[in-house]
Homo-oligomer: A and B are copies of this chain.
Amino acid sequence: MAAELGYDGVELAVRDPGATDANAVARSLRDARLQVPAIGTGQAFLADGLSLSHPDEGERRRAIERMEAHIHFAAQFGAAVIVGLLRGRISGASAATHHRLEQSLDAILPLAEREKVPVLIEPINRYETDLLSTVDEVVSLADRVGSPVLAVLADTFHMNIEEVSIEAALRSAGARLRHIHAADSNRWAPGWGHLDFPSIIKTLRGIGYRGFLSAEILPRPDARAAAHQFIEYLRPLLSEAVHPKGGYA
């Protein structure tokens, strides 16, 4: 359905690459002429309780190993790996939690650099995690860690809740911005809430963004109508420099 509707790729959500047949996935995507810009890892937190900032070193080690498996998996598709909920939550002191997360990233990033797999950290709104909710926090983290593959994934639904200005936050991410989750203010398809997508697209063009716009949207009123609205609403706003792509969360 995705390619037929005009999408260029699909984002995959993978709990454990060890339990996934990469060859079969690659074959079916090739048949459907779809790229994979990014792999989501949230299920490793939600289903397996893994956290890159866990206070226990053995638990952090398990999360690091899972990320390494995701990086190998992503490399086969030329995809990035998303660090969403897998970063964990603040436990004990905030500074110590941030420090543990940075140590975990330091352990993971050499492999990501060798495999040329971008690691995307997504600011997530306060209700889902208390660790890294704004673009500026993630940009600061990326500056401290200093790896060329560490980048920002901006999700417009989360930004609507957390950013003082969505446009200013996108500009502040600048070249660090490598992926976008596009959803309207209510997580419905763009145009069905109150975000100013003409202004958002203009801002992305202004900073030279050339990545995907990924549809992380609710399948409402149903999946096909939402996927159709996403493409039909955004197409007129897009230059060739920005490609829309599908994939429900």
Contacts and interface: CB of A to CB of B under 8 A. Distances in A.
Nearest to A186: B162
A93 interface: no
Interface in A61-116: none
A127 B187 CA distance: 13
A166 interface: yes
Interface in A116-175: 127-128, 160-166
Which size class do A's interface residues fall under? Answer: 10 to 19
A193 B126 CA distance: 15
Contact of A194 (B128, B166, B192, B193): B166
A185 interface: yes
Nearest to A167: B194
A228 B60 CA distance: 44
Interface in A182-216: 185-186, 192-194
Interface string A27-68: 000000000000000000000000000000000000000000
A193 B164 CA distance: 4
B163 A160 contact: no
Given A160-B194, A162-B186, 15 more contacts: A127-B127, A127-B128, A160-B160, A160-B161, A160-B185, A161-B161, A161-B185, A161-B186, A163-B186, A163-B194, A164-B186, A164-B193, A164-B194, A165-B194, A166-B194
Interface of A: 127-128, 160-166, 185-186, 192-194
